[in-house]
Structure 1
Amino acid sequence: MKIFASQLRLPKRTLLVSLIASLTLAGCKLGEVGPSPKSNNEPEEPPVATGNLVFHLAYDEASGNTQEQVSDAAVVINNQFNNAERVVGVNGNALRTDGFSTYLDATFSLANPKNLTVETWVALESYPSDRELPYDQHKPSALVSQFDGSKGFTLDINTWGEYSFKVNVGGTLVTLKASERFPLYRWTHVAAVVDSVQGKANLLLNGVVVATANISKNQTLQLAERPLRVGKSHTDIVDGIFLLNGINGAFDDTRVYDYPLTSAALLANYQAGSSADSDAAIKTPASRFATDLQRPKFHAMPPAGWTNEPHGLVRSGNQLHMFYQRTPNGPFKTQSHWGHMVSEDFVNWTVLHDALYPTLAPNSTSGFDMKGIWAGDVVVSNGKAYAFYTNVNHSGDFNPGIALATSDSENFLTWEKQEPLIDSDQVQDFRDPYLWEENGTWHMLIGAKVQGKGGLAYYTSTNLLNWTYKPTFSSLSYATMDVGSEVWELPVFEPIGNGKHILLVNPVGGAVSKYDNTNPTRGLYWIGTWANGVFTPDYQQPKKLDLVRGHLSPTVERNDDGVLTAIGIVDERRSSQAQLDAGWAHTFSLAREWYLLPDNATLGQRPSEHLTSLRTAATPTSVANLSTTDVGATGATGRQLEFVLTLDNSSTAERYGFEVLANADRSEYTRVYYDAIGKRIVLDKRNSTTANEEDKVLIVENYDEAAFGKPTKFHVFIDGSVVDVFINDAAAFSFRSYPTKADSHGINVFAAQGTATFSALDYWSLKAISLQ
């Protein structure tokens, strides 16, 4: 329990002195356990060292800056959102650090620094990030430090969870390193003690000594000319504009004493708070993004930080598990983790603890996935989950490789890593395995670089452990199927109906790039037949997954009706600075149902039927008979909105469509329309924002009217900065738009070269999903 001066109507310094005096009379010092009664025959114990609590951060404010309890000094907390966050702590509130912008520096000194105790509670969501470098080039971060590289003290922790205590005793830098990784996702009490009388230094975790060292007796500690810092190291590691090595977690009751607390006292301190709720501390506070107009509210995404492609979507019982690449520590890409979320309907998701993250081999400075856990797939066999992922390190075999982790725990919350199973020796490069089972045989496709171009590596197995390379998967050569890329990523291969299969890949590199107007990064697919271990495409030139670029790399699973359902990524189209300012990057698409169109050659896409659960009303608001020869307001507004716009057959306009995210003075709007003469879909983002942080472009793409039908139904979902468009429940695309004005939320109809009449506009407000 915390006691505050305001509760006792005493100044804090007076309260502290009174408490120390009373505890001294009882035979103990503040923070120590009192002595047990002794018999006359018991030997006398060495005198207990005495001293003072000299520094204490309680973090009990509701938000913002904090106060050092001993001196009453104000302490500024650095935080880019100008609102340092508080969460439920071990005692009262705790400081939530975001991993890339939150830390504090406080004035600190010791009058006669020969002894020292440092203790703090910390709950980590993840280990600090670093650049993807070999071990000997790595520099650790710190939980609490007063250090300049040689003088002072520091409680260090690195990106693989190794932690240690360093302190300068009499000019010698002493290091105490724990042998186990620091715990994640729980309140942990960590302490370091320097006792110059006994000549000992100890590092303790949850009241237990985990490392010890002998030191010279009666030596003075050499402190650094630095403030005491909480939340990051005194040495910054940066990647461009991004700080990588902040601490992503929560801190409570950071204390420093000028005397050595006993192990018993520190154990008692731990036991007093050991039942604290860590889940409440780890959650990203809702306040962090409460005013962010661009952040989606009903699209699945991590609570914060950087994310990349979802993958490994798999059903177990009535639950869907989706895994995805992420950096939990900030809006930057480095040392990728596997995030994990669950759903029962492809729409409403609950975020779980990260499934996988980079580690070192025991007692080693290397590890097969120390550089990152990249995309892959998950299958469930006999109730056990098998996660196949792309592991990367720095040299040697299996770099990259396909590694395996398994889980049979409830909700697949804990995973056991196996050794890598497959090396890339059959191709020039590879990544992102995809698996399926047929008649007792498991098949694996891996996106690859083959003879300098995009392609696939193909393997089979009967037990998910031993894999055999197969030289042929497709009847066509990859060179003839490729579009000038360097490697194919995240393949998908599934039956799509009527005896057909779909092969989908995401070519990258080479002549393919994110912002290229003629050959942008996007999902491409072939429809064909699958027999005797060979896929025979019905055509050589691939078809586009989306009409307009912006969405790619879907992961798939069957819904309750057996319909293939896909969720991809809708990536950012704004600057790195804008992503840093936001504190997050990228989102996932809405769930799409896939099916084969009547031409037997084209993929159809429509919104998942479960998306209706997001509607805040059972019936829509409807507007009938909207006609325009230019731009007409509809009266519908919203940044979280679904609408269906239906074209009347009497329309004569050669171009017709709609505008979203539009404001009244038309300084911001995004237009989507169909060019009926040229049979093209147009996305006009040239006026989408008044900010200079987006690719404000005009995108024109061919539209297959024979396959999809002339556009008469536009089904659209708007969610912050992401827009999902479905045409005739057959064609689809998703894109990003970033208007900055609060009133940029209007929906307009559009026409040119004639009159467009829309028989109905039906719209619904949509609710946010909870991702915690």
Structure 2
Amino acid sequence: MSQLTGEQGLMMHWAFDEGAGRSALEQVSQSRDEIQYVLNQAEFTEPADPQWRQGVEGNGLLFDGYSTSIARPASELDRNQEAEPLSALSIGVWVAPRSYDWGYEGKLAAIVNRHNRECEQGYLLGMFRHGRWSFQVGLDQGGWKEVWSPDGDELPKHEWSYVNAVFNGDQGVIKLYLNGRKIASSEVPVGSRMVEAVGTDLLIGKNNHSSRWAGVFHLQMFSGILDELKIYQRALSEEEIAASYRQVLDSLYGGIKPQVPYDELKLDRTPLLLDRHRPQYHASPPAHWMNEPHAPIYFEGQYHLFYQHNPLGPFFYQIHWGHWVSEDLVHWCDLPVALAPEKDQLAPDGIWSGSATYDAEGLPVLFFTAGNDSVSPNQGVALARSTYPADGNPDLVRWVKHREPLIVQQKGIGAFGDFRDPFVWKDDDGWYALVGSGIEGEGGAALAFVSKDMLNWTYKGPFFQADLQKYPYLGPIWELPVLLPLGTDKQGENKHLLLVSPVGEGADVEVFYWIGRLVKEELSFIPDQEEPELIDVGDFHFTGPSGMVDPKTGRKIIFTIAQGDRTSELEYQSGWAHNAGLPLSVYLRDDGRLGIEPIQELQSLRGEKRLSLRDNSLAEANERLQEIQGDMLEIQLEIEPDSARQFGIKLRRTPDGEEETLLYYDSKESMLLVDRTKTTLHPGERCGGIQGGKLELAGENLRLHLYLDRSMVEAYANGLKSLTTRVYPSRRDALGLEIWGDRELVVRSMEVWEMKSIW
């Protein structure tokens, strides 16, 4: 909507009606301001414009929360400044927040600002924790002055709000208006003047003095849609502000406050689909950051899986619970954030990992780690219930938190201050919980709790703990304990699988496991072997375990995060960080070892079968492979070593072999290994070296089941071990395959399929 003529004192007006492009027209000066956006110039995907959305009037501009901003250079503003400081300033803007900033270092996520607080100059309109908002100005005779929204007048997420801030120096007041009504005011000395922040840019969506995170990310950036931003060099009256609000409602919306459709504000994965490193058939957030997937549960014909998520950008910050749903554990759909930090005394500072189970009525419930930095310890076990069936939505998109934590760590129970990641299950006798912690001076531990009603819990003692002296890599703290039943062994004894993730000084941050016996009466665990084993030998790419017993099939299924292991700079440029690993079925083999296999449903992703061969020599197999190119493939391969001691397959290989990743087996050392010394020539990527671990084949041929998905490589060997790694070749022709051996070998079988995207 163009500027209304005759708007007295209007200095600047961004209508954001463009709907496309990389600049926004400032209506008064008729000059264009460039929109900063991470994908304006993209290294790994096609360049993309900033994201435009439906606004209140015409279009609006979507600010992604970490890279989108507009700058009006100080050189232009200073050139046009009046000699006298401003006696009045008013700002009006429509805002639809998507996420709230945490308020790190007490700073506001700026809507619009041109300020220097240290010098007490300029102005700042912005948002704080949990939707609270403020207008702040630097005055010639009063220093830095602030006015804040009162309780109950926060800016709600996923709704349009009309925000006005007014400084009136002649009357000695600064005021806030929300949706046409005054909600707050603060006195300043009568006759005050606002001191201009000369030499400072005017920024929209970014704080002039934002905090830095990981040395790369600017915090305090606006996340959501802005529309119709106007700045006046006079004080708007209460009547004018109310009339502006009513005019929009009455002329465009029949007198009703405009709504924001979910699709207008949701994170959009479309710009990232062409990223040549981003996996296409692994579960991932639409954009930005994730760490471990967790809390899998089956309900009403659908699988739900949640994940640790920062909706503000691709960096670890204030964590929410993201949410996917699937009918087959393969094709996932994005759902709205399930749990977010709120202005309460339960979890204002983060919703950390947990699990899902069923209540007494068979309805899903979520147990999570409640982050509250105002208490000690700042971690407790909390509960959220779905609003289904009352809301009629089996997608379970809305959850209500129980008002207080269920389990609060007391001194003497575990390592005080480390108490997180509840894993909860239910049987006919009640509910049981394992919580990750440690035993002071002894090592990591899973702590055991029981409940008859799901709300009142009794501590039973350590479920199982590490011998840190004997196994120092098990670390002082355990996270993400998971317990799954494996059924009976050949002797008829019931076996369980215990998974943990060690952290802390000296810890090897991998997924370790024991097979053993659950002593239900004591709620403790007795392992068959004292020393743990690894499921995956890929060195920190397979972490963050969660698991479930699938009620539909009886399978025991494990979910993990596939760490990206990239620099913060590359995660900033890419707009995403990490994804889930493929779901794994785990079972007790006849020989008593743990069997692991990718779930069979993944076969639904197979496209064209590119190759099928039997009993070929090394040279014959490689002749056939010359025609196979791809970065989204499934490969099944069996190699008989013959005289070869080391043998395997080269993946993501350039025709000249300048870049390649070698996955191989060393039969003398009984090691499954990946050599990434030639994986990439990109100077910023960290993948390199040789990683791997023990795999005892006892004379069997090597049988590899491989999944290539852009930067993801997952290898499953003989149903016993996996090796997960990441590859980021610099060359676009790094798509080839080649069988490799240090001597002669026989390729007993090889099949290759193209794989389809789930998005």
Alignment TM class, shorter chain as reference: 0.7 to 0.9
Counterpart amino acid of residue 427 in structure 1: G
What is the CA distance between 1:612 and its match in structure 2?
2.2
Query: Where does residue 247 of structure 1 map in the other structure?
Result: 222
Counterpart amino acid of residue 682 in structure 1: L
Query: Where does residue 604 of structure 2 map in the other structure?
Result: 613
Q: Please give the alpha-carbon distance, in whole angstroms, between the structure 2 residues aligned to 1:233 and 1:270.
A: 30
Moved more, 683-692 or 233-242: 233-242
Q: Please give the alpha-carbon distance, in whole angstroms, between the structure 2 residues aligned to 1:474 and 1:291.
A: 45
Q: Which aligned pairs between 1:482-631 and structure 2 lie closer than 5 A?
A: 483-498=473-488, 499-512=494-507, 520-531=508-519, 532=521, 533-549=523-539, 550-559=541-550, 560-600=552-592, 602-617=593-608, 621-623=611-613, 626-628=616-618
What is the CA distance between 1:377 and its match in structure 2?
1.5
What is the CA distance between 1:703 and its match in structure 2?
0.6
What is the CA distance between 1:625 and its match in structure 2?
5.0
State which of 118, 124, 135 in structure 2 corresponds to 1:165. 135
Does the CA contact (< 8 Å) of 1:506 and 1:553 recur in 2? yes
Does the CA contact (< 8 Å) of 1:455 and 1:479 recur in 2? no
Label 1:191 to 1:341 Cα distance change in 2 as closer, same or farther (>3 A).
Answer: farther
Moved more, 635-644 or 752-761: 752-761
Query: Where does residue 334 of structure 1 map in the other structure?
Result: 317
Q: Please give the alpha-carbon distance, in whole angstroms, between the structure 1 residues aligned to 2:738 and 2:449.
A: 51
Q: Please give the alpha-carbon distance, in whole angstroms, between the structure 2 residues aligned to 1:681 and 1:294.
A: 24
Q: Which aligned pairs between 1:106-505 and structure 2 lie closer than 5 A?
A: 106=72, 113-131=86-104, 137-149=105-117, 150-167=120-137, 171-172=141-142, 173-180=145-152, 181-194=154-167, 201-213=174-186, 220-225=193-198, 226-239=200-213, 240-259=215-234, 260=236, 261-269=240-248, 272=252, 274-275=257-258, 277-286=260-269, 288-361=271-344, 367-381=345-359, 382=361, 384-394=363-373, 396-409=375-388, 410=393, 411-424=396-409, 425=411, 426-428=413-415, 429-452=418-441, 453-474=443-464, 483-498=473-488, 499-505=494-500
How far does the alpha carbon of each residue in 1:296-324 deviate from its partner, in whole angstroms, 9 at most, with x for none?
A: 12211112222111111122222222222
Does the CA contact (< 8 Å) of 2:269 and 2:286 recur in 1? no
Label 1:700 to 1:58 Cα distance change in 2 as closer, same or farther (>3 A).
Answer: closer
Moved more, 405-414 or 590-599: 405-414
State which of 85, 102, 110 in structure 1 corresponds to 2:50. 85
Label 1:251 to 1:623 Cα distance change in 2 as closer, same or farther (>3 A).
Answer: farther
**SS of equivalent to 1:535:** strand
Query: Where does residue 645 of structure 1 map in the other structure?
Result: 637
Does the CA contact (< 8 Å) of 1:152 and 1:223 recur in 2? yes
Label 1:335 to 1:116 Cα distance change in 2 as closer, same or farther (>3 A).
Answer: same
What is the CA distance between 1:597 and its match in structure 2?
1.2
**SS of equivalent to 1:160:** helix
Does the CA contact (< 8 Å) of 1:679 and 1:704 recur in 2? yes
How far does the alpha carbon of each residue in 1:409-462 deviate from its partner, in whole angstroms, 9 at most, with x for none?
A: 441423335222323321113221101112231111111111331112111011
Q: Please give the alpha-carbon distance, in whole angstroms, between the structure 1 residues aligned to 2:171 and 2:363.
A: 52
Moved more, 654-663 or 454-463: 654-663
Does the CA contact (< 8 Å) of 2:445 and 2:465 recur in 1? no
Query: Where does residue 491 of structure 2 map in the other structure?
Result: none
How far does the alpha carbon of each residue in 1:326-377 deviate from its partner, in whole angstroms, 9 at most, with x for none?
A: 222222222222222222222222222222333443xxxxx45344322112
Does the CA contact (< 8 Å) of 2:466 and 2:474 recur in 1? no
Q: Please give the alpha-carbon distance, in whole angstroms, between the structure 1 residues aligned to 2:270 and 2:303.
A: 29
Does the CA contact (< 8 Å) of 1:179 and 1:210 recur in 2? no
Q: Please give the alpha-carbon distance, in whole angstroms, between the structure 1 residues aligned to 2:260 and 2:629.
A: 41
**SS of equivalent to 1:419:** coil
Counterpart amino acid of residue 405 in structure 2: P
What is the CA distance between 1:675 and its match in structure 2?
2.0
Counterpart amino acid of residue 111 in structure 2: L
**SS of equivalent to 1:613:** helix
Q: Which aligned pairs between 1:39-118 and structure 2 lie closer than 5 A?
A: 51-52=9-10, 54-82=12-40, 83-90=48-55, 91-106=57-72, 113-118=86-91
Q: Please give the alpha-carbon distance, in whole angstroms, between the structure 2 residues aligned to 1:606 and 1:724.
A: 11
What is the CA distance between 1:497 and its match in structure 2?
1.8
**SS of equivalent to 1:236:** coil
Moved more, 494-503 or 158-167: 158-167
Q: Please give the alpha-carbon distance, in whole angstroms, between the structure 2 residues aligned to 1:139 and 1:55.
A: 25
**SS of equivalent to 1:178:** coil
Moved more, 573-582 or 285-294: 285-294
Q: Please give the alpha-carbon distance, in whole angstroms, between the structure 2 residues aligned to 1:110 and 1:263.
A: 29
Counterpart amino acid of residue 741 in structure 1: R
Q: Please give the alpha-carbon distance, in whole angstroms, between the structure 1 residues aligned to 2:465 and 2:211.
A: 49
Label 1:248 to 1:639 Cα distance change in 2 as closer, same or farther (>3 A).
Answer: farther
Q: Please give the alpha-carbon distance, in whole angstroms, between the structure 1 residues aligned to 2:386 and 2:369.
A: 17
TM-score, length-scaled by structure 2: 0.86
Q: Please give the alpha-carbon distance, in whole angstroms, between the structure 2 residues aligned to 1:599 and 1:115.
A: 81
Moved more, 721-730 or 457-466: 721-730
What is the CA distance between 1:465 and its match in structure 2?
1.2
How far does the alpha carbon of each residue in 1:697-726 deviate from its partner, in whole angstroms, 9 at most, with x for none?
A: 1124211225xx734432211112111112
Label 1:153 to 1:548 Cα distance change in 2 as closer, same or farther (>3 A).
Answer: closer
**SS of equivalent to 2:405:** strand
**SS of equivalent to 2:296:** strand
Does the CA contact (< 8 Å) of 1:522 and 1:544 recur in 2? yes
Label 1:724 to 1:202 Cα distance change in 2 as closer, same or farther (>3 A).
Answer: same
Does the CA contact (< 8 Å) of 1:118 and 1:256 recur in 2? yes
**SS of equivalent to 1:689:** coil
What is the CA distance between 1:123 and its match in structure 2?
2.6
Counterpart amino acid of residue 510 in structure 1: E
Does the CA contact (< 8 Å) of 1:326 and 1:337 recur in 2? yes
Query: Where does residue 762 of structure 1 map in the other structure?
Result: 752
**SS of equivalent to 2:226:** strand
What is the CA distance between 1:258 and its match in structure 2?
4.2
Counterpart amino acid of residue 182 in structure 1: L
Matched residues, percent identical?
29
Q: Does 1:690 align with 2:681?
A: yes
Q: Please give the alpha-carbon distance, in whole angstroms, between the structure 2 residues aligned to 1:256 and 1:388.
A: 46
**SS of equivalent to 1:345:** coil
Structure 2: segments with no counterpart, 5+ residues: 41-47, 489-493
What is the CA distance between 1:94 and its match in structure 2?
2.8
Q: CA RMSD in A?
A: 2.9
